[in-house]
Amino acid sequence: MSQPRVSIVCPKEFDFADAAASVERPILEKVAEVETLWMDFRDPLPERVIDADAIILWHGIQIDRSAMAGFRRCRAIIRNGVGYDTVDLDAAAERGIAVCNVPDYGTEEVADHALALILALYRQLFPLDAEAKRLGWRIGCQSRMRRLRTQVLGIVGLGRIGIATALRAKAFGFRIVFFDPYVPRGLHKAVGIERVDSLDDLLRLADVVSIHCPLTAETRGFIGARELALMKSSAFLVNTARGDIVQKVPLFRALREGRLAGAGLDVVEDEPLRTSEEASTPNLIVTCHAAFCSPEGMVEMRSTSARIARAAVLGEPVWNQVNQTA
């Protein structure tokens, strides 16, 4: 009888995976056949994936209800990362397929990246770099530079990364407030920050807003024209969570019209940037959905996914499950 099979599915645009499955294979080789497949974002799932016992799924590839209709043996879909919005959770639950993620692998990296964007905006690193390289010394951006301990950092979503960001920002002297209706009352006391009861209150109060909530039906387009209008014209917006949480068109318009002082985005709605006009938006820093990246984080993520897949093919309990199966 053949071994169970674990398919690792990676978009062709990414080189995070390797054909040898060098991280995953040592964990899985005694219990399952392991293979890595690359595909375009919109390609149909190959037959090898449809027939797999477990799937490790990199960012971007969609597995919807129609794709799952052909699944014959799949016990688990493991999203190699935090977000799981590319998988139809209800359809998976109906078929008894556990959907799991890896929520803790990039906590340090994403929190560090959020702080890096915040500091770059406050200290105007990129405008100053450009000025110096023009052989100038004008410091034309000084009005945007602030003493950090006079500033309010508003965090939207106080999960692992939100807490890690808050703790880092405290060291710089920020007053920190957060909005998260799903966090138990009193948690903010343990972390030493302040709670507000509505997103609107946070947006009005904060000098910089950092997004750390998951992308769900509730948070898709969460920050749009109305919300941006509540923010101070001197405020900054940072997003290292998911691009579709912040509506791109009203944000870029606010930056062009000077109704927002700046934005630092690791993720963008309908990423990547699509036009030269988007790329030339003033007071905008954009990185390449790279906040999670580090050699250490990648090994941690891949090995965690492999261990979950191993448990699934052995019929053992899985962890980090985000849907409810019978």
Active site (catalytic) residues: 242, 271, 289
Q: How many CB atoms lie within 10 A of CB 62?
A: 15
Question: Which residues have a Cβ under 8 Å from the Cβ of 169 and sit 6 or more positions away?
Answer: 115, 118, 153, 176
For residue 177, the SS3 value is strand
Report how far residue 239's alpha carbon sits from residue 218's, in angstroms, rounded to the nearest whole number: 17
Judge contact between 235 and 206, C-beta under 8 A. yes
Burial state string for 98-136 with b = 16 or more CB within 10 A and e = fewer than 16: bbbbbbebbbbbbbbbbbbbbebbbebebbbeebeeeee
Report how far residue 105's alpha carbon sits from residue 84's, in angstroms, rounded to the nearest whole number: 14
Report how far residue 112's alpha carbon sits from residue 210's, in angstroms, rounded to the nearest whole number: 12
Q: H-type helices in 237-294, by residue range?
A: 248-256, 276-279
User: Which amino acid appears at position 161 of this protein?
Assistant: I
Q: Which helix (H) or strand (E) holds 28?
A: helix 25-28
Partners of 38 in the β-ladder: 10
Report how far residue 152's alpha carbon sits from residue 148's, in angstroms, rounded to the nearest whole number: 8
Report how far residue 245's alpha carbon sits from residue 236's, in angstroms, rounded to the nearest whole number: 16
Maximal C-alpha separation, the chain: 74
Question: Which residues have a Cβ under 8 Å from the Cβ of 181 and sit 6 or more positions away?
Answer: none
For residue 39, the SS3 value is strand
